[in-house]
Amino acid sequence: MSKETREKTHADKVKDKAFKKLVALGKDVYGQLEEGKYPDFEMPLRASSNIFYDLKTRQYSVGKKRVRRSAGNVRHLKPFLQTMFVASFAARDLLQPGRTSTLRDLYYSSESAMAKMFGDQSESDKAITDVEAIIGMAREDFNIFPDARSTIYGDLIVSFLDKKTKQRRELNLAFNPDGQTIGPTLVKSDFVKTGADKVICIESGGMFQRLIEEDADEQFNAILVHLAGQAPRGTRRLIRRMNEELNLPVYVFVDADPWGMHIYNVIASGSASAAHLTGLTTPDAIWMGLTPTDITTYDLPTDNFTKGDLNRTVQLIRDPRYQKPYLQEELKVFMQLKKKAEQQSLTSKSLTFVVDEYLPAKFNEIAKMQRVGKI
Amino acid sequence: MSKVEFKQLSPADFFYRNRELAGFDSPTKSLYTAFREIIENSFDGAEIGGINPDIFVSIKEKSEDVYTIFISDNGIGIPGSKVPKALAKLLFGGKYVERQSRGHFGLGASMTVLYSQITTNLPTRVLSCTRGSEVIDEYHLMIDIQRNEPIIRYHNQLPNKKKWHGVAVEVNIEGDYGRAHPKILNYIESTAMVAPYANITFIDAYGILYKFNKVVDEVPKLGKAVLPHPRGIDTEKMLRLIRVARQKSMKNFLTSNFQRVGDITAKNFLKYVNINPDKVPSQLDHDEIVRCVQGMNSFEDFLSPETKCLSPIGEAVLEAGIKKELEPKFIASITRKPQAYSGHPFVVEVAMAYGGNKIESSSEPTLFRFANRIPLLYDQYADVAAKVIRSFNWRMYKVPQNGNLAIITHIASTKVPYRTAGKESISDRPELEREMKLAMQVCARKMRVYLSRIEREERSAKRASIFEKYLPYIAQFATKLSGKKQVPPTDFVKSVKKGDD
């Protein structure tokens, strides 16, 4: 059986779609240039005035407003050029030969095409976001990834096409006791089989290692994901796919502070900077803690709120993504307590406290709340 | 009881003791003052005769700290018999009529002769010849300081074979040339700027030659001598006028001794100060004189002062001189209408020059100040022109942060209101400040039109270059992305489209 006729994987389909859309953009601009016109194209407006919380999809979304970017406008000229570079680089240097690039790779690659095309990496990152908005697909779909730093561990077997050996391979994510890096291959891999019935996302590396060591994956029948702070998009996409394709409920276990809460909420509802994308959010993800109530319940060692913590909490109270009653309640507890605690403060009880006491109690509590419809 | 001896000082003796009053204080300033006094004399000598000045001046080191200044001009010359008094007697021939004149301290070259004598004890050599004279008079002069009389050390008459006319002076001055040099150079360059009708050749003490050639032929007309305006009168001057008056009535006294006072004005004024028009001037008592002087300052129906005594440079000449010396890309100038303060007429002239390589690029405009055609080089900050410049927001007139803008100001007046005895900065009399401000606004508005155009042109040139730089890349990337072979041309860029900014 030749390669062409074999069934296309999920990853192949996404890749083809992205490639076609990019080439269509190129043909459009090329055609306008041939007519001797200053080329232009349209894209959704990403200004905050056009970003809102979509109750239907339960994520941050871009509205209907669109902007026209024209090479005839001197202020649009450089962004236009940058966008065209990113699109041509993605289609012809990445997707076509099957390469991937990090955000930083792309920034450096631009130098060979045109010196000083980007002032710094934030400019090239912005151009990448523009291309995402134009074709309505995520940068991972055209093979541009952030540096992988997030990991996964648990009973899940995935399959993918190994680019080196050109062979299909299967991988058990419980194979590596340090956790498996969540890279582009893994994010786009096909799920084969899992015995787990939930996903637990963990903010800090220390807690992730503790849970692996204490066999939390077996005890709670869970796949463990290390977020490493604010979760990278690939990780968010993988979480969403596990939730959607494997029907696994997702629990998010973070520090007890407004920043930890927001890590949860970006997984659930998305961020303004990725509002033009879909498929990254897991609206049903559950914030399991640490909650400020946990701080008092378990009498955990704490730090005092800084001014920044307080301001952030006030912002979150007003944020449309935080309107669920239990989130509002807990935010108000923060305001009263004015204290925060790290996940690892649970270790102050004992090394096994988190698996022996905290998590079982937490799952019970969440189940109870779900029954009364509080979550 | 001790006896106090009162001794009357001769003018020469007075200035010998108070030479700083005439600008001869430090060795640096003295050399500079001597230099300018004799140059100004040469200018006057030529302009009086309607001659384009052709002046040669050099400074040479004679011995340590002693410098010889030599100058020769092509003016009308001084008649041979009058040379000693004109150069070696201070305050010879006072000015009792009013007219705009260069004379910085009213002392002319004689103060230089005096200073030369007291620092070097050498005579000043003078050659003079009037137009059409067969002989040139040569004198070696010194001054009898106590009597204020010339001492003639040598006198000879030479045949005038080349039909020369003018004055040549060789004077030795003790001074600090190293320090005076920048001021002297600045002075002569500035002078050339407002006298584009003159040829000036200058050799400095280092042997470097500077030549300033005339670019216009028209020689400025000197202001006409006029009677004083009543508003500028003080009691002392009034007393002097009354003392020499031959008129038999106050009415006639007023009409013949003051400018622009006719029968009706005289009658109204005398009614205003309650003095009988038929009263004999010499019979006025003290109270009446004081009342008369005070009334002259408060009476509102005098006509404004005569202006034919003024000699502004004029816009055309000013611009020609500035173009020659500063080579700007843009120039605007204005000669305002005559105005008056306290009975003294004055005219303000302002020019603005922008761009080119000669004008310094600076966050503040470079200011060149002139009063009665004389450059003012000291105390700039205190000057009314500097004050007005500070009050302007130059960004409003499109002047870039580090623009190269030069502002030239000239005040022509029968009495320039100097701030101090040093006569280097002009005070901010409200009438003057207002005129200065209006004149600068007129020039600045014209300049803004020019600078806006430059700004627009630069912007569109920059825009065109951005298009030329970026569009080929866009074409290249679009070609690669679309998978086509040939890069489409982008030469339509040449007809630059206006951006919507």
User: Is residue B321's pLDDT more than 90?
Assistant: yes
CB contacts, 8 Å: A73 with chain B:
499-501
Res B486 pLDDT > 70: yes
B243 has a pLDDT exceeding 50: yes
Percent of chain A with pLDDT over 90: 52
Mean pLDDT of B155-168: 94
Q: Closest approach of chain B CAs to the CA of A27, in angstroms?
A: 5
pLDDT of residue A138: 86
Residues in chain B, how many?
501
Band (A5; pLDDT cuts 50, 70, 90): very low
* Site from A37, A84, A94, A135 to mutate, B interface, most B CB atoms within 10 angstroms: A84
Q: Using a CB-CB distance cutoff of 8 angstroms, which residues of chain B are in contact with residue A71?
A: 470-471, 474
| pLDDT for the residue numbered A2 | 40
Q: Which residues from B are below 8 Å from A80, CB to CB?
A: 470, 474
Q: Which of B475, B477, B500 sits opposite A73 (nearest CB)?
A: B500
Instruction: Considering chain A, tell me which residue range(s) the CATH 1.10.10.10 domain(s) occupy.
Output: 10-145
Class of domain B230-298: mainly alpha
With bands split at pLDDT 50, 70 and 90, how would you rate the model's confidence at B96?
Answer: very low
Per-residue model confidence (pLDDT) at position B92: 66
Tell me phi and psi for residue A373, to 5 degrees. 75, 20
CA of A70: which chain B residue's CA is closest?
Answer: B499
Instruction: Report the pLDDT value the prediction gives residue B497, as an integer from 0 to 100.
Output: 46
CA angle A243, A246, A250 (to 5 degrees): 30
Q: Is the predicted pLDDT of residue B218 greater than 80, yes or no? A: yes
- pLDDT for the residue numbered B198: 96
Q: Is it the case that residue B98 has pLDDT exceeding 70?
A: no
Instruction: Give the pLDDT of residue B158.
Output: 95
CB B257 within 8 A of CB B97: no
Mean pLDDT of chain A: 89
Q: Do A81 and B477 touch (CB under 8 A)?
A: yes
- Give the best residue of B470, B481, B493 to mutate against chain A (max A CB count within 10 A): B481
Are A272 and A183 a contacting pair, CB within 8 Å? no
For residue B234, the model assigns a pLDDT of 84
Q: Give residue B171's pLDDT.
A: 96
Let me know if A108 is a catalytic residue: yes
- Interval A255-279: pLDDT, tens: 999 999 999 999 998 887 788 888 8
Asked if the Cβ–Cβ distance from B470 to A77 is below 8 Å, we say yes
What pLDDT, on a 0 to 100 scale, did the predictor assign at position B94?
A: 41
Q: How confident is the model at residue A119, as a pLDDT?
A: 87
**Half-sphere exposure of residue B433: CA atoms within 13 angstroms, side-chain side:** 14
Under CATH, what is the fold of the domain A151-371?
Dna Topoisomerase Vi A Subunit; Chain: A, domain 2 (3.40.1360)
Cβ pair B474:A72 closer than 8 A: no
Query: What's the whole-number mean pLDDT along residues A105-131?
Result: 89
Kindly report the nearest CA distance between residue A294 and chain B, in angstroms.
Answer: 55
**pLDDT averaged over every residue in chain B:** 89
Give mean pLDDT, residues B466-474.
89
Which tens digit of pLDDT belongs to each residue from A80-102? 999 999 999 999 999 999 888 88
Provide, as residue numbers in chain B, all residues whose Cβ is less than 8 Å from the Cβ of A33.
474-475, 478, 488, 490
Q: How do residues B328-368 score in pLDDT, each as one tens digit?
A: 999 999 999 988 888 888 999 999 999 999 999 998 999 99
Per the CB < 8 A criterion, the answer to whether B131 and B49 are in contact is yes
Global ipTM: 0.70
Query: Taking residues A200-226, what's their average pLDDT?
Result: 93
Segment B432-459 mean pLDDT: 94
Average pLDDT over residues B450-459: 91
What is the rounded average pLDDT of the residues B312-335?
A: 95
Q: Which residues of A touch B (CB under 8 A)?
A: 22-23, 25-27, 29-30, 33-34, 36, 38-39, 71-75, 77-78, 80-81, 84-85, 87-88, 91-92, 113-114
Range scoring the smallest mean pLDDT among A300-309, A351-360, B7-16: B7-16
Contact between A196 and A156 under an 8 Å Cβ cutoff? The reply is: yes
Residue A124 has pLDDT above 50, yes or no: yes
Overall CATH class of domain B11-212: alpha beta
- Let me know if A9 is exposed, middle or buried by CB neighbors in 10 A (0-12, 13-18, 19+): middle
Tell me the fold of B315-450. Answer: Ribosomal Protein S5; domain 2 (3.30.230)
b/e code B44-68 from CB counts within 10 Å (16+ = b): bbbbebebbbbbbbbbbeeeeebbb
CB distance B470–A78 less than 8 Å?
yes
Q: Do B488 and A34 touch (CB under 8 A)?
A: yes
Question: Does the CA dihedral A194-A196-A198-A203 come out positive or negative?
Answer: negative
| Closest residue in chain B to residue A94, using alpha carbons only | B481
CATH of domain A10-145: 1.10.10.10
pLDDT grade for B135, boundaries at 50, 70 and 90:
very high
Short-list A97, A91, A127, CA closest to A19: A91
Q: Out of A30, A53, A108, A298, which one is annotated catalytic? A: A108
Residue B6 has pLDDT above 70, yes or no: no
Ranges of H-type helices in B258-400? 263-272, 286-298, 315-326, 384-391
Give the residue-averaged pLDDT of A283-297.
Answer: 91
Q: What is the DSSP-derived secondary structure letter of residue B133?
A: -
B493 or A327: whose pLDDT is higher?
Answer: A327
pLDDT greater than 90 at residue A320: no
CA A139/CA A86 separation, integer angstroms: 10
**Which has the higher per-residue pLDDT, A194 or B226?**
A194
Task: Considering only the beta carbons, identify the residue of B466, B480, B492 that sits closest to A74.
Answer: B466
**Contacts B463 to A, Cβ<8 Å:** 74
Instruction: Give A251's Cβ-side CA count (13 Å radius).
Output: 21
List CB contacts of B37: < 8 A, sequence separation 6 or more: B104, B105, B107, B108, B109, B111, B112
Mean pLDDT of B145-154: 92
Give pLDDT tens digits for B16-51: 888 887 788 889 989 998 998 889 889 988 998 999
pLDDT class of A50 with cuts at 50, 70, 90: confident
Structure tokens that stand for B126 in this block: 């003078």
The yes-or-no verdict on residue A59 having pLDDT over 70 is yes
pLDDT attached to residue A112: 85
Hey, how many other C-beta atoms are within 10 angstroms of the C-beta on B436? 25
The pLDDT value recorded for residue A324 is 82
Which of A321-330, B118-127, B254-263 has the least mean pLDDT? A321-330
In chain B, which segments carry CATH 1.10.8.50?
230-298
